[in-house]
Structure 1
Amino acid sequence: MSDDAARIRALITRWAEAVHRGDLDGVVADHTEDVVMFDVPPPHEGIRGLAAYRATWPPFFDWQAQGACFDIETLDVTAGTDVAYAQALLRCGTPEELAERPTLRLRLTFGLRKERDRWLIAHEHHSFPHD
């Protein structure tokens, strides 16, 4: 694994741990000011900008406080010189939701760019399969 791929893997792992803890500052760290996110809940046209990204997380933390998990199962990273992407599958749900649908996984895709030798998340896409 390249050094850049390892750095990106560590960045995404830190991000997921911050989400799991409900640590808003940790979640928004390592994101670009112009981040774009397409998320599971509305707005379906996505959100743009770090302030809008930050505002999406408190309702998720409230839901997660019901005992939901947010655990990376797989994470693959492809890193170029100054852009990279990563995809992951996560167990994300309450115990009841996961008991009802044990194979359900949250799908995540990240687009990253390197700015002044620092990798930053510029794009996130979160989705669940629609059966």
Structure 2
Amino acid sequence: MKEEIRQLVERWQAAIRAGDMDGILADHAEDVLMFDVPEPLQAEGKAEYRKTWELFFQYGKPGKDVFTIEDLRITAGSEVAFCTGLLRIGGSAHPVCRLTLGLTRVDGHWRIAHEHHSAPHALQPAPRRDAS
């Protein structure tokens, strides 16, 4: 089961690297929900999801370094699974984003139902409050 999911993720990564939009969309649920780093806050359904990748490719050409998943971890049950990983984007030397995928099994096939990309945001130390 985990190997089947790993292969799905690897196909998806290869499609992103190739700029193959049909391949990017292939294993996603029709009602996929995506939370991404750039706006919009969320994209719901394959048509909206597709737009997020069109935006992505405006800033980075397809290629082997455009999207690299590292430290992929898979947790799977019989009907639901999730994956986490770290992303190197656009040839970055180190991971710059986090990735979480939520999958469901539909008619015997795994489908990505939820995708979440996030980037860490450094916070400044909170101002000290005097104990008076």
The two structures have a TM-score, normalised by structure 2, of 0.85
Q: CA deviation at 1:118?
A: 0.2
Secondary structure, counterpart of 1:40 in structure 2: coil
CA shift digits 1:36-56 (9 cap, x unpaired): 000010012x01111111122
Unaligned 5+ runs, structure 1 = none
Q: Aligned pair 1:125/2:122, yes or no?
A: no
CA shift digits 1:13-72 (9 cap, x unpaired): 11111111111001001111110000010012x011111111221121121129762111
Which residue number in structure 1 is paired with residue 53 of structure 2? 57
CA distance in structure 2 between the partners assigned to 1:78 and 1:104 by the alignment: 21
How do 1:1-131 residues align onto structure 2 when only pairs under 5 Å count?
A: 4-44=1-41, 46-65=42-61, 69-94=66-91, 98=92, 102-131=93-122
The two structures have a TM-score, normalised by structure 1, of 0.85
Unaligned 5+ runs, structure 2 = 123-132
CA distance in structure 2 between the partners assigned to 1:24 and 1:103 by the alignment: 26
* Equivalent pairs, count: 121
CA distance in structure 2 between the partners assigned to 1:93 and 1:130 by the alignment: 19
Compare CA radii of gyration and give the structure with the larger one. 2
The alignment yields a C-alpha RMSD, in angstroms, of: 1.6
- Larger helix proportion, structure 1 or 2? 1
CA distance in structure 2 between the partners assigned to 1:66 and 1:7 by the alignment: 25
Structure 1 consecutive aligned stretches of length 4 or more whose deviation exceeds 6 Å: none
